Amino acid sequence: MLDEEEDQMANGSLKPLLNVLHGNRQDPVPIWMMRQAGRHLPEYMELRGRANGFLDFCYTPSLATEATLQPIERYDMDGAILFADILLVLDALGQCVRFEKGVGPIVEKVEKGGRLNKVPVQQAVERLSPVYETVSRVSSRLADNKTLIGFAGAPWTVALYAIEGRGGTDKSQARIWAHQHPAELALLLDDLVEVTAHYMAAQAEAGVNALMMFDSWAEGLPNDIFEQIIIEPNKKLVKRLRELKVTVPVIGFPRGAGVMLPDFADQTGVNAVGLDTAALPSFINRELPVSMPVQGHLDPLLLMAGGDVMERRVIELLDAYRDRPHIFNLGHGVLPTTPIPHVEKVVELVRAWSAD
């Protein structure tokens, strides 16, 4: 992996998005979008119809490969993100995970004092081998100028599903754990740090060029709890990745971090940060080092709405980050009812804009 990474750094312009993650300003600004493979694409819906449920979709390399590549083929994005799900780690650890139509994920709960160690780490990592096969297949088909992004859920966000048992909750059960049972929660998070590090390392070994940690439920936390369950586990995860000889850049996305984002960027060891919809460009530019790459943070609802307001906002964000390494993205994922022409328009605007 080291030789490959050194080669990529020496030839960073070959992969514009990867070049930015190494701290270099790139024009035109590279672009990809979170949840870019999804229900807004008719070809995705046709593909998903071939799978026997969502988990089967994720675990079938032939289907997951096509889902990963579809946005590249349609929009010519600079980055392809692995098609998988953050809850695959829980499934591999022996927690029952299922996806119900119209409901979302349903997860076997872990009780207070319980651990996520029913399945040994190496066995859990081996259970995820179809994901690595998908990475290998995508890597072999992706053009040389495209960056392949692997990912996993950050420890707190994955733990939250195991505690709450499902998505769409007010997250109060998990947050009460953080207040009342910090030692027990710390052990749970440590379990996830270890298995997630090995999982991401296996993705890197299979061929991803960068890795992203999704802390989708970092929002609304008091600063002391944020430090305890967001910053510290992400710091441990990045450190563990480096101990496992993973050299590719790591993007952290603590959605809803607000004023805690500078501490996250400074303390966790990530190479770049994702910005959510509420991020304020003046705050970002004032509080983050000018060398820190950022990606985001167009409102997905604005992308769905389209029109002149969307176009002006795209230019505003490009202008705002003209003096730092910047990857254009959304503040969260593409929504299912987003019109394809709106995505095409954003790509066109980003490609045409220049910092000169």
Q: What is the CATH number of the domain that holds 244?
A: 3.20.20.210
Q: Which domain holds residue 241?
A: 2-352
Interstrand relation of 326-327 and 294-295 (parallel, antiparallel or unpaired)? parallel
Beta-strand pair 250-254/294-295: unpaired
Q: Which positions ≥6 away from 182 have C-beta within 8 Å? A: 228
Report the catalytic residues. Answer: 35, 39, 48, 85, 161
Question: Residue 328 forms beta bridges with which residues?
Answer: 31
Q: Would you say 150 and 82 are in contact if contact means Cβ atoms under 8 Å apart?
A: yes
Q: Ramachandran region of residue 258, left (φ > 0), alpha (ψ -120 to 50) or beta?
A: left
* pLDDT, tens only, 235-285: 999 999 999 999 999 999 999 999 999 999 999 999 999 999 999 999 999
Q: 10 pLDDT exceeds 80?
A: no
Q: What is the 3-state secondary structure (H, E, C) of 58-96?
A: HHCHHHHHHHHHHHHHHHCCCEEECCCCCCHHHHHCCCC
Task: Reply yes or no on whether the pLDDT at 324 is more than 60.
Answer: yes
**Residues near 211 by Cβ (< 8 Å), separated by ≥ 6?**
149, 150, 151, 152, 200, 203, 204, 241, 246, 248, 249, 250, 251
Instruction: Give the predicted TM-score (pTM) of the model.
Output: 0.95
- Which of 113-127, 129-143, 187-201, 217-231 has the least mean pLDDT? 113-127
What pLDDT digit, counting tens, does each position of 123-167 carry?
999 999 999 999 999 999 999 999 999 999 999 999 999 999 988
At 35, the pLDDT band (50, 70, 90 cuts) reads very high
The model's pLDDT over 58-106, given as tens digits with 9 standing for 90+, comes to 999 999 999 999 999 999 999 999 999 999 999 999 999 999 887 889 9
User: What domain count does the chain have?
Assistant: 1
Quote the CA–CA distance of 135 and 149 in Å, as a whole number: 9
Tell me the backbone φ, ψ of residue 149, rounded to 5 degrees. Answer: -105, 120
Segments of 216-332 assigned E as strands: 250-254, 272-274, 294-295, 326-327
- 3-class SS of residue 355: coil
182 within 8 A of 156, measured Cβ to Cβ: no
Closest of 213, 58, 194, 196 to residue 131, by C-alpha = 58
* pLDDT for 80: 98
Q: Which residue, chain included where needed, has tokens 């305890």? A: 228
